[in-house]
Structure 1
Amino acid sequence: MWNPKFVLLCLLLFLTGVVVAPIQFFFPIYVEEELGKMVWHAALLRAIPIALGGFFALIGGGLCDRFGKKMTFLIGMTGAVVVGGVFVVELDMIILCILCYQGVAVGLRTAGGQSYLIQSVDPKALGLATAIYFQSRNIGEAIGNAIGGELITSFDYSFVGYTTIITMSILMFMAIWMLPTDTQNKESSDMKLEAKESMMVMLAHYQKMIRRPNIFILCCIRFFSTFSWGNVSLMVPVLINRNTSVRLTGYYGTVSLIFSGISSVLTGWVCDKIGSRIPAIYIHFLILLSIVGIASSVNSTSLLFISGVLATGTAWALSITMPRFINEFSSSEEKGRGVGITHLAWSAGFMSGQLVGGALESVNIALPFIVAVVAVMVSTVFAFILIRWIPASD
């Protein structure tokens, strides 16, 4: 598992997480405090880029299978370079353009990174490797959130924005130089045929994939569980900031991501031992418990903090099960597309959760979390269907 490809991939994700985390985490607070807009406005600004990210994950999956995973991943990293601009400019249209480009890039980076991961490690160690892959970025984000809260308090948002642009430009050149090229059998007739395919043919492959019951159920789980996470990730930092300060909100992000690292590594280890099906069920119940805790403690900072940390950890733990399912349900020639189609479901769920959460927050602060509970219950039903009717395979 600990080969140069995997180690350098995780290192790049860690460093990117440190640099970019404050932009992502504090954006709703920035919109509310600096731009004087409602939380719904922040959700709307995020919605279109998230949708673009989902669509371009499909394209990214095809690019991975055609032209290589490293190239797709590196193109995706360019989004992290420009995203610092959202804290520098104050015009909605420019912010939206920056976020749209980032959404496109995230879709490519997700498809490239996860496909590169699947190729780089032994399938028997994929659960633990997936946990380390995701948590490399999360640990970086945990550090970045704490640093970001301090920098915003001591300086301002624009200082964080400029720092992000400069630092990510340096990391981009490091990635081009350091990351090993992924191996492909470019001489095979299949690869030559694939390179000639049109976009419509590539999309036809996705249409065939989604008709398979195992892929369809997996996408449903990804959509509904991420819908709830979209709600939580938008609202909890805003609520903590309203009750306390930016500094404590930053440390909430740090603690929640550290806990998610612990829960993810544990989940990956368990999945390598017993598979992903049973852990996925138990994780759904923990997600449900955490969101109920948030809904009942919106005016209590301490309970909100604890419930939010649990929600973050369990959401990431469920994500750890996904690459194992993708690896199981897709052939060797369609791993990239397997990542792409499930990321589309993730993007659709996250976008819907953020939009619904932002809209319902102005009606009643508990409503977003009530809807999130319903979404998790639906996802749990699909998880039971997966266990009962889709046979496990090696």
Structure 2
Amino acid sequence: MTPKLRSVPQTTTPGVLSQSVILLLLSQVLSGMLITTQFAFFPIFIEERLGYTAAIISICVALGRAMGMAASLVGGSLVNQLGHKWSFVLGTGAFVFGSVLFLFDTPWLVLLFWGLAAAGLSIRTPAGQSYTIQMTGAQRLGFVSALYTLSVTVGGALGNPGAGVLLDRGGYRAFALGMLAISLLTTGGMAAFLPTPTSEASSRSAAQAKSSHHYGNLIRRPAVAVLGLIRFLPTAYYGMSVIIIPLLINRLSGSKTTVALYLTVSQVVATGVQLLAGWAADRYGHQRPSMTAFGTLILSAAGLAAFSTHLWGLFVFGALGLGAAWSLAALLPCQVSDAVPDEDHGRVLGFLNLAWNAGMIVGSLMGGALVEIATGLPFLVTALMNAPAILLLIILSRLQHATAEAKSSAAKAKEAI
């Protein structure tokens, strides 16, 4: 079992989720309806309404991610200043921009709203992850983290079929108004009903006391640098696949409903895989499920490279690859919890979200350029990129063991004085 470096009051009892965690998961389901549909149909929207090619679409997506990267630089620090809950609510509120952009045909306005939505997601992500860590006992962190991330996929599975039908029958205006209503409901509900973690005051004061430790200091820590690479590599695949696969399916089928069906199938697969990954992390430690997820992602990317011109290949290997990518996201809080002190969680998760945005930019730009050469090429390249990840996981495990032993020795020496 991977050693634990943190000790927080357990807010869940074995087999029973607390009311606060249930509210958190419900907000994630509603957010999932927004995240998966907005981000999946945005490339199709600008292809059809603005007439852009795949390469230009990738650049547009990357510009939004660049704004997300800028927001990532302050996202972790915002957690320390505003607290976990209100940073979480603030980031979620940006889904409003991702909803209303579908009402406009003006390129600069569409890109501005897309960038604001991406920036909000970059604030929301580290805030939500650190909020989950604070609200969950260490013994159940793997399982609750899996529930946290798969709630987004459940939301996508629930929302995608309706989104596809709405787009085919009512167009982008009806889609935008529906997403706007869910955005306002989710943000207002989180502000009103999500509790503030009881340990927030102490963790915020400790983080503010170390405010002179900037991101440069964090990156120089070997464990944090390795975590950044582990976050970046699968995200490069994910950032490419969420653009290229829906575009390819739309071109092959000519139906938004078929795109929505793929999104639903992939979200259902990801739901089961994430639950399994969270259970395995609590039982065996996070290294085994992380290695399994990376192996699955590499094989899925290779399958897509071979069968990218077939609908069944896009469905089967695309769903497996998405499930593997989401499983790795579910395991991230466990990795951070083991490698990073509590007071640094916000800033480290902010840095990892910076790595996530960098991966999304690289993946989207690379995918848009390579798919014009051969439809299977971007999948082949990302499969090769992720091959070294297994070695990175081994290095991370050794670094975590060394850090745990050092902290244990320091604690014993302090007690002996």
Which range, TM-score by smaller chain? over 0.9
Instruction: Tell me, in whole angstroms, the C-alpha distance in 2 between the residues paired with 1:205 and 1:128.
Output: 31
Q: Aligned pair 1:256/2:271, yes or no?
A: no
CA 174–232 in structure 1, closer or farther in 2 if over 3 Å, else same: same
Quote the offset at 1:80 in angstroms.
0.8
RMSD: 2.0
Matches within 5 A, 1:140-289: 140-184=155-199, 186=201, 191=205, 194=208, 201=212, 204-244=213-253, 245-289=255-299
CA contact (8 A) 2:270 2:327 kept: yes
Quote the offset at 1:378 in angstroms.
2.8
Instruction: Tell me, in whole angstroms, the C-alpha distance in 2 between the residues paired with 1:154 and 1:390.
Output: 53
CA 86–41 in structure 1, closer or farther in 2 if over 3 Å, else same: farther
Query: 1:108 matched to which residue of 2?
Result: 123
Any unmatched runs of 5+ in structure 2?
1-11, 406-417
Quote the offset at 1:41 in angstroms.
2.2
Quote the offset at 1:185 in angstroms.
5.9
Which has the higher mean CA deviation after the structures are superposed, 294-303 or 162-171? Answer: 162-171
Quote the offset at 1:386 in angstroms.
2.5
Q: Aligned partner of 1:106: which letter?
A: L
Quote the offset at 1:192 in angstroms.
8.2
CA 282–171 in structure 1, closer or farther in 2 if over 3 Å, else same: closer
Query: 2:383 matched to which residue of 1?
Result: 373
Instruction: Tell me, in whole angstroms, the C-alpha distance in 2 between the residues paired with 1:193 and 1:324.
Output: 20
Q: Aligned partner of 1:210: which letter?
A: I
CA 195–237 in structure 1, closer or farther in 2 if over 3 Å, else same: same
Quote the offset at 1:173 in angstroms.
1.7
Q: Which 4+ runs in 1 deviate beyond 3 A?
A: 387-390
1:99 to 111, 114, 130: 114
Instruction: Tell me, in whole angstroms, the C-alpha distance in 2 between the residues paired with 1:185 and 1:301.
Output: 48
Query: Per-residue CA shift, 1:144-191, capped at 9, x if unaligned?
Result: 1111111111110121012212332233222211111233564x6982
CA contact (8 A) 1:84 1:162 kept: yes
CA contact (8 A) 1:25 1:145 kept: no
CA contact (8 A) 1:4 1:180 kept: no
Q: Aligned partner of 2:104: which letter?
A: V
Instruction: Tell me, in whole angstroms, the C-alpha distance in 2 between the residues paired with 1:317 and 1:105.
Output: 23
CA contact (8 A) 1:31 1:39 kept: no
Query: 1:338 matched to which residue of 2?
Result: 348
Q: Aligned pair 1:307/2:317, yes or no?
A: yes
Q: Aligned partner of 2:320: which letter?
A: L
Query: 2:415 matched to which residue of 1?
Result: none
Q: Aligned partner of 1:234: which letter?
A: I
Instruction: Tell me, in whole angstroms, the C-alpha distance in 2 between the residues paired with 1:192 and 1:242.
Output: 53
Q: Aligned partner of 2:227: which letter?
A: L
CA contact (8 A) 2:129 2:349 kept: yes
Query: Per-residue CA shift, 1:64-87, capped at 9, x if unaligned?
Result: 123311110111011111211221
Q: Aligned pair 1:297/2:307, yes or no?
A: yes
Query: Per-residue CA shift, 1:249-284, capped at 9, x if unaligned?
Result: 101000101110100000000000111112211221
Quote the offset at 1:33 in angstroms.
2.1
Q: TM-score, normalised by structure 2?
A: 0.88
Instruction: Tell me, in whole angstroms, the C-alpha distance in 2 between the residues paired with 1:18 and 1:94.
Output: 23
Which has the higher mean CA deviation after the structures are superposed, 150-159 or 257-266? Answer: 150-159
3-state DSSP class of the match of 2:50? coil
Instruction: Tell me, in whole angstroms, the C-alpha distance in 2 between the residues paired with 1:189 and 1:295.
Output: 46
Quote the offset at 1:312 in angstroms.
0.7
Q: Aligned partner of 2:356: which letter?
A: W
Instruction: Tell me, in whole angstroms, the C-alpha distance in 2 between the residues paired with 1:58 and 1:77.
Output: 17
Instruction: Tell me, in whole angstroms, the C-alpha distance in 2 between the residues paired with 1:192 and 1:271.
Output: 28
Query: Per-residue CA shift, 1:4-57, capped at 9, x if unaligned?
Result: 321111111111222453221111122222221112222212212223323323
Query: Per-residue CA shift, 1:100-157, capped at 9, x if unaligned?
Result: 1112211111121111100001011111101100111111011111111111111101
Quote the offset at 1:367 in angstroms.
1.7
Instruction: Tell me, in whole angstroms, the C-alpha distance in 1 between the residues paired with 2:73 and 2:339.
Output: 17
Instruction: Tell me, in whole angstroms, the C-alpha distance in 1 between the residues paired with 2:398 and 2:239.
Output: 28
CA contact (8 A) 2:83 2:204 kept: no
CA 319–20 in structure 1, closer or farther in 2 if over 3 Å, else same: closer
CA 330–58 in structure 1, closer or farther in 2 if over 3 Å, else same: farther
Identity %: 31
Q: TM-score, normalised by structure 1?
A: 0.93
Matches within 5 A, 1:312-327: 312-327=322-337
